[in-house]
Structure 1
Amino acid sequence: RSSDWKAANAYKDSGLIYNGRVEGINSGGLLLRFYSLMGFLPYPQLSPVHSCKEPNKPIQEIAKDMLGSILSVKVIDVDEESRKLVLSEKKASWSKYSKYVNLGDIFIGRVCSVEDYGAFVELRFPDGLYHLTGLIHISEVSWDLVQDVRDFLTKGEEVRAKVISVDRVKSRITLSIKQLEDDPLLETLDKVIPQDGSAAPDSVSDIIKPLPGLETILEELLQEDGIFDARISRQGFEKRVVSQDLQLWLSNAPPMEQRFTLLARAGRQVQEILLKTSLDQEGIKKAIQRVLERVP
């Protein structure tokens, strides 16, 4: 009926949620009653709540058990001429549950797929069900060097993850496992290097050498207004490689009067840099950013 197609367009434009009964299944998804029309709910548009109940069961088998059930869906595509009506339970779940997801929240989740660029994790809510999915990018898996996500995460594994981004326009949640722990090199260097000198290298190949490019960085720091002195101090080695590139950080060590501590690292090597300055912490951060933009 024409009025039902108008209703479908109204639901699509308004974003309202419709509760429809599952009346059939096929190889691509489920068939839901929408007034007098039959809507199509593709398997990829199902909420993760179903697959998480029985993670080892094929989605087609799960769909059979859903016959006769009522699902909350959104209308995402309408074409009366071709009689196409496409529905999404996933988008309805986003509308219902995304308001309970905020920056910094920590969730228990289940890894539902592992890709070269990261892992998708289904998030468990207080009702015990998995309503939304987030992505842990490869860079957020571990402070260790991650070359293959599959070495760290496997499908079906339960993990704790922190919400680091919520895009409410694109309906995307970004997660991190590594941010549940402090970056070891943003802590004070005392945990890496003894107060009385440098830590001993593990092998002859680890003999401490000046970090490449560090001398240029020191020269550039001294060009910044408000920085009076920049000199290297203690050196040591981390247990893990985070990046082979030279990185520069402002240490979490409490600043003394007109003095800040920077940490430079490349590979496993760590170098402490002591600054004498009239700048405050925010000014130091901006100075570091300007220096890094100038140094190739």
Structure 2
Amino acid sequence: RSADWKAARAYLHSGFIYGGRVEGFNGGGLLVRFYSLVGFLPFPQLSPSHSCKEPNKTIHQIAKGLVGSILSVKVIQAEEESRKLIFSEKEAVWTKFSTQINVGDVFEGKVGSVEDYGAFVHLRFPDGLYHLTGLVHVSEVSWDLVQDVRDILIEGDDVRVKVVNIDRGKSRLTLSIKQLEEDPLLETLDKVIPQDGSADSDSLTTSNSSTIEPLPGLDAIFKELLQEDGINDVRISRQGFEKRVVSQDLQLWLSNAPPSDNMFTLLARAGRQVQEIQLATSLDQEGIKKALQRVLERVP
């Protein structure tokens, strides 16, 4: 047994993958054979492919079905004195499949869980299995201001995601849903308000015109914005009209572009009307987002 513990430590330090036979399971994970030793593979360290392949089964039903099978695992803890031998299938799968992905790649995915800070999405590979999991941060879920991720995503949802960062040292993927969609600010204004400044029957581009009035509800938001530290001025700019009504509710978007020369752009829309708003601010993009969140919490 001492020699087997030595072998376990060698696997731990080398990062080599071991093919372990599943001997059984308990309430927290699988029991995996390692030579004469039996180690533990916690359920959170299982590859997502099992639950995605059989979504209607409980984790214990999945575990029962794995008994007798051989799993590719990595040793992530080997302490002979305390007799702790812990495995991870996730780490083994990462080693195999992370080399097949690059920043900018687009995957079909399935939402595995939703947290306050974002959603974990399992990525589907060409073999049809879901091998890796990444995080879609709340800021990357939608161009709209998201108060609660659960209003948009639930466990089991099928989504398309873009890989925006790969931390190979920590085996972490950062994903985005919204980057596969046009920035509504750029998309809407470019369609509604011609870039050359010309106007037709469906658009207005007179930024200094006295006919431009803020959309209903914006005045209260403007007043509250001016109470925020770092926001020095708020003014309305271009205005346009879409050919169809998307929503009668007042909607606000933040530009994807960072502040330039202490100016930042917001977009408001209600019904067919689209309004560009210019902020004079010393805040960065994240600071503006937080300020806007505070304002929307105060304005009924």
Structure 2 length normalisation: TM-score?
A: 0.73
Alignment deviations for residues 70-96 of structure 1 (CA, whole Å, 9 cap, x no partner): 000000011111221111101101111
Query: Contact 1:39 / 1:86 at 8 angstroms: preserved in 2?
Result: yes
CA distance in 1, matches of 2:90, 2:30: 13
Match of 1:285 in 2: none
Match of 2:149 in 1: 149
Task: Answer yes or no: is 1:241 the counterpart of 2:245.
Answer: no
Match of 1:172 in 2: 172
Match of 1:49 in 2: 49
Q: What does 1:51-200 align with in structure 2 at a 5 Å threshold?
A: 51-187=51-187, 189-193=189-193, 195-196=198-199, 197-198=204-205
Q: CA deviation at 1:198?
A: 4.1
CA distance in 2, matches of 1:77, 1:272: 54
Task: Answer yes or no: is 1:270 the counterpart of 2:276.
Answer: yes
Q: CA deviation at 1:186?
A: 3.3
Query: Contact 1:74 / 1:87 at 8 angstroms: preserved in 2?
Result: yes
**Range with greater deviation from structure 2 (101-110 or 232-241):** 232-241
Match of 2:296 in 1: none
Query: Contact 1:103 / 1:163 at 8 angstroms: preserved in 2?
Result: yes
2:253 aligns to what SS in structure 1?
A: coil
Alignment deviations for residues 222-262 of structure 1 (CA, whole Å, 9 cap, x no partner): xxxxxxxxxx963458973125x9x8657xxxxxxxxxxx8
The AA in structure 2 aligned to 1:114 is V
The AA in structure 1 aligned to 2:265 is A
The AA in structure 1 aligned to 2:2 is S
CA distance in 2, matches of 1:248, 1:130: 35
CA distance in 2, matches of 1:263, 1:152: 27
Q: CA deviation at 1:206?
A: 5.2
The AA in structure 1 aligned to 2:89 is E
Q: CA deviation at 1:190?
A: 3.4
CA distance in 2, matches of 1:54, 1:182: 34
Corresponding pairs, count: 256
Percent identical residues = 61
Query: Contact 1:186 / 1:249 at 8 angstroms: preserved in 2?
Result: no
1:189 aligns to what SS in structure 2?
A: helix
CA distance in 2, matches of 1:249, 1:182: 19
1:24 aligns to what SS in structure 2?
A: strand
Query: Contact 1:201 / 1:236 at 8 angstroms: preserved in 2?
Result: no
Two-structure CA RMSD over aligned residues (Å): 3.6
Cα distance, 1:145–1:201 mapped onto 2, change above 3 Å = farther
Q: CA deviation at 1:263?
A: 6.5
Query: Contact 2:15 / 2:75 at 8 angstroms: preserved in 1?
Result: yes
Q: What does 1:212-223 align with in structure 2 at a 5 Å threshold?
A: none
Q: CA deviation at 1:205?
A: 4.0
The AA in structure 2 aligned to 1:81 is E
Cα distance, 1:249–1:236 mapped onto 2, change above 3 Å = farther
Alignment deviations for residues 98-139 of structure 1 (CA, whole Å, 9 cap, x no partner): 111210000001111111111111110000000010111111
Query: Contact 2:268 / 2:277 at 8 angstroms: preserved in 1?
Result: no
Alignment deviations for residues 146-176 of structure 1 (CA, whole Å, 9 cap, x no partner): 1111111111111100011111111111111
Query: Contact 2:237 / 2:276 at 8 angstroms: preserved in 1?
Result: no
Cα distance, 1:215–1:170 mapped onto 2, change above 3 Å = closer
Query: Contact 2:231 / 2:283 at 8 angstroms: preserved in 1?
Result: no
The AA in structure 2 aligned to 1:23 is E
- Unmatched runs of 5 consecutive residues or more in structure 1: 219-231, 251-261, 274-287
Query: Contact 2:114 / 2:150 at 8 angstroms: preserved in 1?
Result: yes
CA distance in 2, matches of 1:204, 1:64: 59
CA distance in 2, matches of 1:237, 1:36: 73
Q: What does 1:13-28 align with in structure 2 at a 5 Å threshold?
A: 13-28=13-28
Match of 1:222 in 2: none
1:135 aligns to what SS in structure 2?
A: strand
